[in-house]
Homo-oligomer: A and B are copies of this chain.
Amino acid sequence: MKAAIVTVGDEILIGQIVDTNAAWIASILAKEGIMLVSKMTASDDLDSIITAIDRALTDADLVLMTGGLGPTKDDITKNALEKYFGGGFTFSQDTFDRIEKLFIKRSIPISEAHRQQCFLPTIATIIENQMGTAPGMWFEKSGKILCSMPGVPHEMKYVMKHGVLPRVGTMSKIVYRQKTIMTAGIGESVLADKIEPILDNHEVKIAYLPSHGQVRLRLSREGAKGSEKEVEAILQKAVTETVEAITPYFFGYDDEQLESHVGQLLMKKGLTLGTAESCTGGYIAHLITSIPGASQYFRGSIVAYDNGIKQEVLHVNQVTLETHGAVSEGTVQEMVNGALKTLKCDVAVAVSGISGPTGGTEDKPVGTVWIAVGDKGDTWTTKFLFTKDRVLNIKYTAVYALDMLRKFLSAR
């Protein structure tokens, strides 16, 4: 089964928005074992949309369209679909009732534009959209399928998950399974050296998805419908052996976040956390507190951008700063101790480095970072040399700090 995507909208063509819908649909189709063969964007113009529909149905058996279903004048996807498939329009009372209910709840009067939205191509099967006003539509012609969905991402995802995928799933002749292995603190090529000899013995596909100090490994396997159990067994064996080979770097499955994993570890062990940040400027605390429920284990952070704060709030020794500098093992060790005391936390992480673009020296070039993690009994420290880029250095430092924290907590 081959698929094509058509996205509609001038806002994509003028670069005002990045087309994230298409990437999301593409990744969902890949999981279902459906091959995406082409992807196109049409402007808010009748001929342009019809041309795109025709091309997509030439390329593929399943066409997924998004956008152009709203109540305003520039939303003309349903007109293009009716012109292409024929059959006229019919008023959908079900859709109107649903919109009315939604609007009464929100105390908004229904406008004429929303009433017009309920006139839908007669031959379309309507797919309910519980997230907004515009429903999805399902068309069939000469054994091929076209689904039209709203462009608002959470509405599109709802229609795709609840209306489109269940119908498409029963039609696909392929079974596809995948598992994502989450790693941190190891680069793509070193990881590949460790796992490729193992995976040579397993018939699974592997994809590396790297981002700033983390690599997601996606193992996948497909087979004919009916071979689900066999496919799952082969995949599971490969996953188990892969994880065994990379234990120190492995922390979870299927897009679990490192900051969420660290939070889980803290809760399991009943420990509280604090951070003392220089070069990351609060970014580590931000990552930790972006996880719901972080207040159960996170006490706070001292962002000591200025050396005065390092001394006064974190009690870093003036002698240490003068002798070794703010970016030094001694400083981050003392920052950990200061954080434990000031923030009254059980475990603390501290970072100090030169993010750039200026401030580098021959001894300590831009990208030099010291990270420390510790509790009352023990402190671990490591020196890193990241990049020349300020934003990247902040991100790398945060990920490596969280990873050191993960290892420290796991060893407790």
Binding site for B on A (CB under 8 A): 12-20, 22-30, 36-43, 48, 51-52, 55, 59, 207, 209, 275, 277, 280-286, 288-290, 292-295, 298-306, 308-309, 312-313, 342-344, 356-359, 390-391, 394
Which residues on B sit within 8 Å (CB–CB) of A358?
292-293
Q: Which among B285, B306, B308 is the interface contact of A282 at CB below 8 angstroms?
A: B285
A15-B22, A16-B207 known; 8 other A-B pairs, CB under 8 Å? Answer: A13-B37, A13-B38, A281-B286, A281-B301, A295-B359, A299-B305, A302-B302, A303-B303
Which residues on B sit within 8 Å (CB–CB) of A285?
281-282, 303, 305
Q: CA separation between A132 and B10, bound complex, in Å?
A: 32
Which residues on B sit within 8 Å (CB–CB) of A52?
38
CB pair A28–B16 under 8 Å, yes or no, is no
Counting every copy of the chain, the complex holds 2
Q: A27-B16, A281-B288, A282-B282 are in contact. Are A313 and B342 (CB under 8 A)?
A: yes
CB pair A14–B30 under 8 Å, yes or no, is yes
Which residues on B sit within 8 Å (CB–CB) of A41?
22, 38-40
CB pair A15–B23 under 8 Å, yes or no, is yes
Which residues on B sit within 8 Å (CB–CB) of A289?
280-283, 303, 305, 394
CB pair A16–B282 under 8 Å, yes or no, is no
CB pair A282–B303 under 8 Å, yes or no, is yes
- Least Cβ distance of A85 to chain B in Å? 21
Which residues on B sit within 8 Å (CB–CB) of A302?
300-303, 313
Query: Which single residue of chain B is at the shortest CB-CB distance from A298?
Result: B305
Q: CA separation between A394 and B288, bound complex, in Å?
A: 13
Which residues on B sit within 8 Å (CB–CB) of A18?
18-20, 23
Q: Which among B24, B48, B277, B290 is the interface contact of A391 at CB below 8 angstroms?
A: B290
Which residues on B sit within 8 Å (CB–CB) of A343?
309, 313
Which residues on B sit within 8 Å (CB–CB) of A313?
300, 302, 313, 342-343
5 contacting pairs across A/B (C-beta < 8 A): A13-B37, A38-B48, A281-B298, A282-B301, A308-B344
Q: CA separation between A261 and B312, bound complex, in Å?
A: 29
Which residues on B sit within 8 Å (CB–CB) of A38?
13, 40-43, 48, 51-52
Query: Which single residue of chain B is at the shortest CB-CB distance from A55?
Result: B55
Q: CA separation between A14 and B33, bound complex, in Å?
A: 10
- Least Cβ distance of A322 to chain B in Å? 18
Q: CA separation between A290 and B22, bound complex, in Å?
A: 30
Residue of A16, A282, A391 with most partner-chain B CB within 10 A: A282
Q: CA separation between A184 and B19, bound complex, in Å?
A: 25
Q: Which among B288, B298, B309 is the interface contact of A300 at CB below 8 angstroms?
A: B309
Query: Which single residue of chain B is at the shortest CB-CB distance from A208?
Result: B16
Which residues on B sit within 8 Å (CB–CB) of A275?
282, 303
- Least Cβ distance of A222 to chain B in Å? 13
CB pair B42–A30 under 8 Å, yes or no, is no
Which residues on B sit within 8 Å (CB–CB) of A40?
38-41
Which residues on B sit within 8 Å (CB–CB) of A37?
13, 43, 48
Q: CA separation between A285 and B394, bound complex, in Å?
A: 13
Query: Which single residue of chain B is at the shortest CB-CB distance from A26?
Result: B15
- Least Cβ distance of A98 to chain B in Å? 22
CB pair A13–B27 under 8 Å, yes or no, is no
CB pair A301–B303 under 8 Å, yes or no, is yes
- Least Cβ distance of A189 to chain B in Å? 14
Query: Which single residue of chain B is at the shortest CB-CB distance from A277?
Result: B282
- Least Cβ distance of A57 to chain B in Å? 13
Query: Which single residue of chain B is at the shortest CB-CB distance from A42?
Result: B38
Which residues on B sit within 8 Å (CB–CB) of A391?
290
Q: CA separation between A342 and B310, bound complex, in Å?
A: 11
Query: Which single residue of chain B is at the shortest CB-CB distance from A310?
Result: B300
